[in-house]
Amino acid sequence: MFDDSIILSVENLSVGYEKPLVSNLRFFVREGDCLGIVGPNGAGKSTLVRTLLGLIPPLSGSVSFLGEKMEEVKPEKRIRLGYVPQRTTVDLSFPVNLRDVIYVSLVNKLRLNMLSSSTLDDVIRSVLNRFGFDDPNTPLRKLSGGQLQRLLIARAFVNEPILTIMDEPTSNLDPAFTERFYEILAQEKEKGNAFILVSHDVEGISRIVNKCLTISFEGWELKDHA
Ligand SMILES: Nc1ncnc2c1ncn2[C@@H]1O[C@H](COP(=O)(O)OP(=O)(O)OP(=O)(O)O)[C@@H](O)[C@H]1O
């Protein structure tokens, strides 16, 4: 019988390009879980994350989200999966502001009638405030690298995802906002939302993760974290 506390289920998954980087991976992410993924440069962490999200096909095995195979997940359900990429190719000279960036993430929700246009501006302002921005009209080109990282996190959170997968989310954040970031994750975990965090900051994430997956060139190891 399907265990409905399971959000993400990974079965016998092998990921890579021609040859596997990680083989026969099995794990679950349940409500309120925070799974850390650590390992050396080039081991395959980002490749794994992109495969979990369905952006790269698995070499073998499967990934299921809320009981459905990732490739079959419908848009209404897919909205509940957030992603913060490691690097962004956003062209900062492009004439858009913070509001526009958040708005783009809400388009599907509006289209599916899961959000009313009368509350749109409040939703955008509220998520921007939570991530330390006062003015939604600030142009993107005025953001520093760390502020852009905060905006990408805000963009992932605006749809209130049940699972957010983040690839090195704190790499550009200053200590004060890193602290705030972990507080926000703790609040979200309390609500039952789950996270997957790829990070080189093993000590930093150790305060929030309850499971840790180590990927190396020799293989993988999954451990519970007290
Ligand atoms: N599109 C691609 N095609 C072929 N090989 C790739 C591609 N993207 C990454 N690789 C290779 O796959 C390997 C794993 O890369 P990946 O980015 O998953 O590592 P990582 O563990 O996330 O590293 P880092 O800690 O440096 O971010 C590397 O050898 C990389 O060169």
What pLDDT digit, counting tens, does each position of 168-188 carry?
A: 999 889 999 999 999 999 999
How far is the first Cα of the chain from the last one, in angstroms, to the nearest whole number? 28
At 49, list the tokens.
């994350």
The whole-number pLDDT of residue 90 equals 62
Check residue 128 and give its pLDDT: 97
Average pLDDT, the chain: 92
Domain ranges of the chain: 6-224
pTM recorded for the entire structure: 0.93
For strands 163-167 and 81-84, give the pairing: parallel
In this structure, the residue with its CA closest to atom 5 of ligand 1 is 17
pLDDT in tens, 92-141: 667 889 999 999 999 888 888 888 888 899 999 999 999 999 999 999 88
6-224 fold: Rossmann fold (3.40.50)
Quick check: CB of 51 below 6 Å from ligand 1?
A: no
Cα angle 134, 137, 138; round to 5: 75
Is 217 near ligand 1, meaning CB less than 6 Å away?
no
The Å distance, Cα 45 to ligand 1 centre, comes to 8
Residue 43 tokens, joined: 């081991």
Written as six digits, the tokens of 175 are: 């200590």
How far, in Å, is the centroid of ligand 1 from the Cα of 149? 21
